[in-house]
Amino acid sequence: MNIGFIGIGRMALGMVRNLLTAGHTVQVYNRTRARAEELASDGAEVVEAIATACDNELVISMLADDRAIEDVVFGKVDFINALPADGVHVSMATISEKMGRRLRDSHSAAGRAYVSAPVFGRPDAAAAAKLFIVAAGTPRAIERCRGAFDAMGQKTFVLGEDAVAANVVKITGNFMLASVIETLGEAFALSRKYGIDSEDLLELLTSTLFTAPVYKGYGALIAKQQYEPAGFKLNLGLKDISLALEAASAKSVPMPIATAVRDQFLVGIERGYQDLDWAALGKVCADDAGL
């Protein structure tokens, strides 16, 4: 399959390499060309223009946030009409449900196929093709994406034809992840104040009550106070918890835990932790406990 890939961050590096390994032809575009050049030795073709990357049967965008989507898809380049009539655009970023609706409706109005397919997984999972992909769009469009999804992830969950559903599920999942990280941070702060070794507590908890990977992975980062290098930065965590609150407000859904966690992100950023891994919510908890 001929694929255009737009937006080359840490996640995208592994994703593109896995597409290439699976035998796909990939053109890559990034606003900062140097990042895209990292993939040239893997066999990707680095292109100078967004429109060039759009001229493929499948176009994947992996952009940081709504502002980046605004600049790329709704900016100076006529992105949507640059897609082939039979092409498919797949947005794999974590964006607001409002932007999700705009993407869905704009592609539909132009007669272009669109799939929303955000992912769960950190850069190491992307490199190992172990992402979980959450997809929504028409069955025909999703089927066109199957080969690419299989190359990048371990499982694809299909949520139906409304592309916005995938955005809401991704936002919901990240809210829950942030809540787990916050509770881990509070728990480790409490145990440390009583002289209990954090790694001993982690072993006990993740061998008994909380055996899920999220507790093991983020628990280990907090227990070891290992917040660099960041797999997912704290400031991006603030973005995602804010997206959850925005979506909740649109449907009059109270989310008191999300509000409390959002405030912890704000505290962390005020303390200069914005570029640390979002597991640094644990550092905020430790600070507040005087540790």
- Catalytic residue check, 170: yes
Q: What's the half-sphere exposure (Cβ side, CA atoms, 13 Å) at 231?
A: 14
Please list, in sequence order, all residues whose beta carbon lies within 8 angstroms of the beta carbon of residue 67, skipping any fewer than 6 positions away: none
Both tokens of 67, joined, read: 């502002």
Spell out where 49-112 has E strands.
Answer: 58-61, 88-91
Please name which of 64, 246, 103, 264 lies closest in space to residue 181, comparing C-alpha atoms: 264
Phi-psi region of 91 (alpha: psi -120 to 50; beta: other; left: phi over 0): beta
Can you tell me the distance from the alpha carbon of 59 to that of 248, in angstroms, rounded to the nearest whole number? 30
Can you tell me the distance from the alpha carbon of 22 to that of 18, in angstroms, rounded to the nearest whole number? 6
Residue 95 burial class via C-beta count within 10 angstroms: exposed 0-12, middle 13-18, buried 19 and up = buried
Do β-strands 153-158 and 45-46 pair in parallel, antiparallel, or remain unpaired?
unpaired
**Residues 123 and 95 sit within 8 Å (Cβ to Cβ):** no
Neighbouring-strand partners of residue 45: 27
Write down the catalytic residue from 76, 98, 155, 170.
170
* Residues labelled as active-site residues: 170
